[in-house]
Amino acid sequence: MPPAHPVIGVSACRRFLEPHPFHVAGEKYLTAIASAAGGIPLVVPALGPAIELEALVRRLDGLLLTGSPSMVEPHRYQGPASAPGTLHDPDRDNTTLTLIPAVVDAGIPLFAICRGYQEMNVAFGGSLHQNLPATGRHGVHEPDETEPLDVQYGPSHPVSLIEGGLLRELTGHDRITVNSIHTQGVDRLGRRLAVEAVAEDGLIEAFTVEDSPGFSLGVQWHPEWKVTEDAASMAIFRAFGEACTEYAQRRHHA
């Protein structure tokens, strides 16, 4: 019988919990996969070349790229050096930036959130603004970290959904209100990427891969946060889960 629940990889970050390194993924992403996408989350460690990429891709029915406090290393997109104290995760970069095009080209459903969205842009040759307000064109997109999490992750600003795009189709709206938990954002849009949503200050907030044979969506905001309480977030995760289920069924019968 075909699998009832698709196996969905979830990108991990490499963190030191003294004195040892650990590979960790946020519970909110794992829960969203299980509760809203109907999948079985499988944490993909940030081991870079130590992972046999082809073997991993053959076993996945979908991939979720998570948010993280760390930033993509700027040399990955020929950017200037980061400000002192910026948290990086080169092991995650080594893993995801190689995995992204392999997953897309294989037709495996891909959903990227926040840092994952920025990774996706870089993987396709795009670049990032490291400090949005410093551009003089974009406003502040990060919350007040002294506020409770419910406030930080609460509705922040509207985004306009592109006519004929996937997000407008999934949500049934031309505008939705999203949360905003990021300092960096898309500067130069990567090759093969098509804009799906734009903030009022002109920042690109979502995209898809134009020529992808499967579901491929990246968003700058955090739809995983209390996903079952937001209709637009549920619609996105449900569509991702359905795409993963369909892929699993095709893989099973191949």
The amino acid present at 15, given as its one-letter code, is R
Q: Which of 73, 196, 205, 224 is catalytic?
A: 224
Distance set, CA 228 to CA 31, 40, 135 (Å):
10, 17, 35
- Is position 224 annotated as part of the catalytic site? yes
Query: Which one from 129, 141, 182, 222 is the annotated catalytic residue?
Result: 222
Give the whole-angstrom CA distance, residue 157 versus residue 56. Answer: 37
Instruction: Say which residues have a Cβ less than 8 Å from residue 147's Cβ, sequence separation at least 6.
Output: none
Task: Specify whether 114 is catalytic.
Answer: yes
**Other C-beta atoms within 10 Å of 7: how many?**
17
Q: Are 173 and 232 in contact (CB under 8 A)?
A: yes
CB 214 within 8 Å of CB 108: yes
Q: Which of 13, 73, 114, 129 is catalytic?
A: 114
Look at residues 246, 92, 119 and name the one whose alpha carbon lies nearest to residue 186. 119
Instruction: Compute the Cα dihedral for 209, 253, 8, 100 and give only its sign.
Output: negative
Residue 36 — φ and ψ, nearest 5°? -110, -30
* Edge-first strand listing for the sheet containing 193-199: 40-44, 7-11, 62-65, 110-113, 216-219, 204-209, 193-199, 157-161, 175-178
Q: Which residues are catalytic?
A: 114, 222, 224
